[in-house]
């Protein structure tokens, strides 16, 4: 969606980042004294979710830039860390949890880069292998037309040896990553889905061929890659269409350059159902065979998840037998019935991913 309104907290009104956004967006920032002023404007709209995607608020991050991923104790977690550069997204996916996660949903970018860099220095100094990404509360690359944050982070991570940055996206906004001396400490990753799901549920995102073409270009620039099939949607024909995406993926990029692939099926908090019904009246994704999971989210029946996972894992193993594959938020039974083993709690998945990052990205303890 196009940014129509630009607001800035008055304490950062003269910040260089604000000037960059204003120039590229061709909008004059409107100063506000408090985020509540912007929230009210968004909430007064007929569609606050869409209004939040067209309203950009530039401010300071008053909390932590480096955070733990908000996993759940009921399912196996990968020990991922979040680099919190901003919130929300200009694309419009029907299943997006951010529609109900933020109150209200609002596109924000944090301009206090000096504080972020200071926290990154502390992060780099921590012992052990570390994995962190910017794609939890926003798409990692939607900011590229307006700011050099992506290139800046690539440069920062290139100068150390124990941490890897993951930039996860559904876009093709990769030009600022070109000609960077990244030292293979940045993984560029894409969320993938079937063409049917992309066309019907992922408004404003790049097509599957466009995403894969961008991945191939990043591979040529020397970047390691990763891919996330999450959320997979169960529908008639999905058992053939998802493995077909795996085939297209490995026709496009080298299996030897893929650090990991994650799998996860569509799950949602009950509050999201009404939002999807209102904003995506043609969508049927909330009318599948669901049961309440241990985390309170609606999940497909376990037998359905396992059947789709088995097909995906079988095809990946045929085409890329050595690629690290893992589940995002599944339990031990699902792991056992698909992979034949379950990672040990609490750090089994983290150890798998750390080993793969060391192998592909040259990380050192």
Mean pLDDT of 95-104: 87
44-53, 94-103, 222-231: which range is least confident on average?
Answer: 94-103
Report the C-alpha gap between 20 and 29 in whole angstroms: 11
CA distances 228 to 42, 125, 129, Å, are: 31, 29, 21
20-34, 60-74, 332-346: which range is least confident on average?
Answer: 60-74
pLDDT for position 74: 79
| 155-202: pLDDT as tens digits | 999 999 999 999 999 999 999 999 999 999 999 999 999 999 999 999
Sorting pLDDT into bands at 50, 70 and 90, what band is 105? confident
| 305-326: pLDDT as tens digits | 999 999 999 999 999 999 999 9
| 143-159: pLDDT as tens digits | 999 999 999 999 999 99
pLDDT for position 100: 86
pLDDT for position 42: 94
pLDDT for position 348: 95
pLDDT for position 346: 86
Report the C-alpha gap between 198 and 176 in whole angstroms: 25
Supply the pTM of this predicted model. Answer: 0.97
Task: Classify the C-alpha dihedral 120-123-125-130 as positive or negative.
Answer: negative
Sorting pLDDT into bands at 50, 70 and 90, what band is 85? very high
Which stretches of 103-163 are DSSP H helices?
113-125, 149-158
Interacting residues of 79 by C-beta distance below 8 A, sequence separation 6+: 69, 131, 347, 349, 350, 353
Average pLDDT over all residues of the chain: 96
Domains recognised in the chain with CATH numbers: 63-89+113-361 (3.80.30.30)
The yes-or-no verdict on residue 73 having pLDDT over 80 is no
pLDDT for position 156: 98
Report the C-alpha gap between 121 and 114 in whole angstroms: 11
Interacting residues of 82 by C-beta distance below 8 A, sequence separation 6+: 66, 67, 68, 69, 132, 133, 134, 136, 137
pLDDT for position 13: 96
């Amino acid at each position: 969606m196009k940014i129509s309104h630009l607001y800035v907290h008055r304490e950062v009104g003269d910040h260089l980042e604000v000037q960059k956004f204003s120039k590229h967006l061709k909008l004059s920032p409107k100063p506000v004294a408090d985020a509540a002023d912007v929230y009210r404007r968004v909430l007064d709209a007929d569609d606050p979710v869409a209004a939040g995607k067209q309203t950009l608020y530039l401010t300071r991050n008053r909390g932590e830039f480096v955070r733990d991923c908000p996993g759940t104790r009921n399912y196996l977690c990968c020990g991922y860390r979040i680099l919190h550069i901003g919130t929300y997204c200009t694309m419009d996916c029907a299943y997006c949890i951010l529609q109900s996660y933020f109150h209200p949903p609002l596109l924000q970018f944090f301009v206090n880069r000096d504080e972020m860099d200071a926290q990154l220095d502390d992060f780099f100094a921590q012992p052990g292998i570390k994995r962190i990404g910017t794609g939890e509360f926003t798409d990692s690359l939607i900011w590229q037309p307006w700011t050099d944050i992506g290139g800046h982070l690539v440069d920062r991570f290139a100068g150390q040896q124990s941490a890897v940055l993951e930039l996860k996206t559904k876009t093709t906004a990769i030009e600022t990553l070109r000609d960077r001396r990244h030292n293979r400490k940045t993984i560029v990753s894409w969320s993938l889905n079937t063409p049917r799901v992309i066309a019907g549920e992922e408004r404003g995102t790049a097509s599957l061929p466009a995403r894969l073409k961008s991945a191939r270009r990043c591979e040529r620039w020397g970047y390691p890659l990763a891919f996330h099939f999450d959320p997979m949607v169960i529908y008639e024909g999905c058992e053939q269409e998802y493995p077909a995406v795996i085939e297209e993926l490995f026709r496009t990029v080298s299996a030897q350059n893929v650090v990991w692939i994650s799998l996860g099926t569509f799950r949602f908090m009950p509050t999201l159902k009404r939002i999807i019904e209102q904003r995506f009246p043609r969508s049927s994704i909330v009318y599948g065979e669901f049961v309440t999971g241990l985390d309170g989210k609606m999940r497909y029946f376990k037998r359905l998840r396992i059947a789709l996972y088995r097909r995906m894992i079988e095809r990946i193993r045929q085409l890329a037998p050595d690629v690290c594959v893992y589940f995002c938020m599944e339990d031990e039974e699902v792991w056992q019935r698909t992979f034949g083993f379950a990672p040990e709690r609490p750090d089994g998945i983290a150890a798998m991913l750390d080993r793969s990052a060391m192998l592909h990205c040259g990380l050192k303890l």
